[in-house]
A and B are shown apart, each in its own frame.
Chain A
């Protein structure tokens, strides 16, 4: 029965969260913070796959978020209203007021996961476009290419008037709730963990350790890298979709290089090559930003200072290279205990 403890616990927590949020036990503020934490967990663990486990350096995570966010928001604000109300796909003026009403019934919670998956797949496809040329060459090029990608995506959306240009998309229905973010965060942690401990993931680890040796051990290094990168982009897209339906409006500057940097900070804070570290890093960083909110501008002096001290005194981050037992596959638990002796 022990093997069911974790799934049962998660389902229980999901139900509790659903109950708590439908009974308004949390204030709106707390709910928003919790949602941010969940989204940041998704973004951090997915970036850790590339920057930690694969040892490459991607700095354009927000670009993939943007793609997920725009795709999902286009579906919820335009495609669905178009088919339900016959609203124009590209609105000329303000949206008709009934546009958001489709998202008020319970049915939206059945549709939304599908929409998010579409957004994720779109982001994964963009990841493929970046990965195919980048992984032909070795070294630091990925950082430059992803940086460029982030800017290209941002300015492409800024200059597409049909998508609102730099004003972006508005009137996005609020669908992202605490339980759903919890669900998606759990799914991302679980999926990425499973990937890492599979043969595909071991290939990725081998690349980080020694790419030449990996090739000679039959690892198709190029395919492995592309696979890991697309998986990472997929979850960035999911995170972007969830964010769009929390913020209720998105514009290109939401997904600037600053957003990418923020995710990088959470990865390094939590620790490289650790799913548990990403979980901790995202929660700690999001919490810290909120706790220090009264300090106003000084917050942005204190947080970078904390990071500098972290790098000086604890370079591996909060939990780098280590894992919580409950996040390890059961067959790895014993091995993990032996290796960390």
Chain B
């Protein structure tokens, strides 16, 4: 059974068909890239998977359970982590609090425990904090733990966002343009980091990426879309030579 299975996914924004009969399967442990020209519907597909939009039609199953139409916070609790193209950190909070917020559904104490700061509360908080520090260490940003997120350099903010997504203990990690705005050197470091955390946390990764060096370098399989519909999928080499993909990116004449 694939970890993520998307069948017949269609989504309308008013009269605009943003996603049309999109299909995809992602096996456990894969890194799959999602590519397509600007406006092809890549981010919309991510938003549909993580529950920000309710699909007009179609089925999305994670580990066999249907997640289409669930509210976003429930999808996240079932194990879908997500980062954004334009960072969405909790900017005025510390890095540590950013991570702890992602542990929201893993921290178990009642409201009374919180008001009275009971022993159970202290233990749960301590556990959460230790795990948060482990994650920060893994991404080598633990020295920023008590800094406000907005004060960090851009590349490190991306790392914080990654750590925050990892704090959800995701089975599936959705990365929306993880190298956007990065220099070539930073970009290569990010690519290495993605492979590293994938191994370390036994993750499955679905990522949107425009920079072909990254996509072709780290993805085992690539899914290409245009106008919200699937136009090709396969290994990086297959995609590179796929005429439909070339046409979508480069236009008709080049292919002729």
Contact = CB atoms under 8 A, between A and B. Distances in A.
Given A209-B92, A338-B147, A215 B102 contact: no
Given A194-B115, A194-B116, A339-B147, A331 B125 contact: yes
A53 B88 CA distance: 18
A209 B129 CA distance: 21
B168 A217 contact: yes
Q: State which size class the interface on B falls in.
A: 35 or more
A199 B89 contact: no
Contacts of B88: 210, 212-213
The A interface, classified by DSSP as helix, strand, loop or mixed, is helix
B206 interface: no
Contacts of A329: 117
A80 interface: no
Interface string B111-146: 101111100010011001100000000000000011
B93 A209 contact: yes
B101 A203 contact: yes
A329 B103 CA distance: 20
A308 interface: no
A219 B98 CA distance: 12
Interface in A203-256: 203, 205-206, 209-210, 212-221, 227
Given A205-B97, A339-B146, A218 B115 contact: no
Given A199-B107, A221-B73, A210 B115 contact: no
A334 interface: yes
Contacts of B147: 338-339
B63 interface: no
Nearest to B82: A216
Given A217-B164, A218-B105, A210 B146 contact: no
Give the most central of A209, A321, A334: most B CB within 10 Å: A209
B100 interface: yes
A65 B124 CA distance: 35
A215 B116 CA distance: 26
Given A202-B101, A209-B90, A335-B94, A216 B148 contact: no
B71 interface: yes
Interface in B142-182: 145-148, 164, 167-168
A209 B117 contact: no
A220 B101 CA distance: 11
A200 interface: yes
Give the most central of A194, A198, A335: most B CB within 10 Å: A198
Contacts of A210: 88-91
Given A195-B114, A216-B73, A217-B102, 7 more contacts: A199-B104, A199-B109, A209-B93, A210-B89, A216-B82, A218-B168, A335-B146
Interface of B: 50-52, 71-73, 76-77, 82, 84, 88-94, 96-97, 100-105, 107, 109, 111, 113-117, 121, 124-125, 128-129, 145-148, 164, 167-168
15 contacts: A199-B109, A202-B104, A203-B101, A212-B88, A215-B51, A215-B52, A215-B72, A217-B104, A218-B77, A218-B102, A218-B105, A219-B104, A220-B73, A335-B145, A338-B147
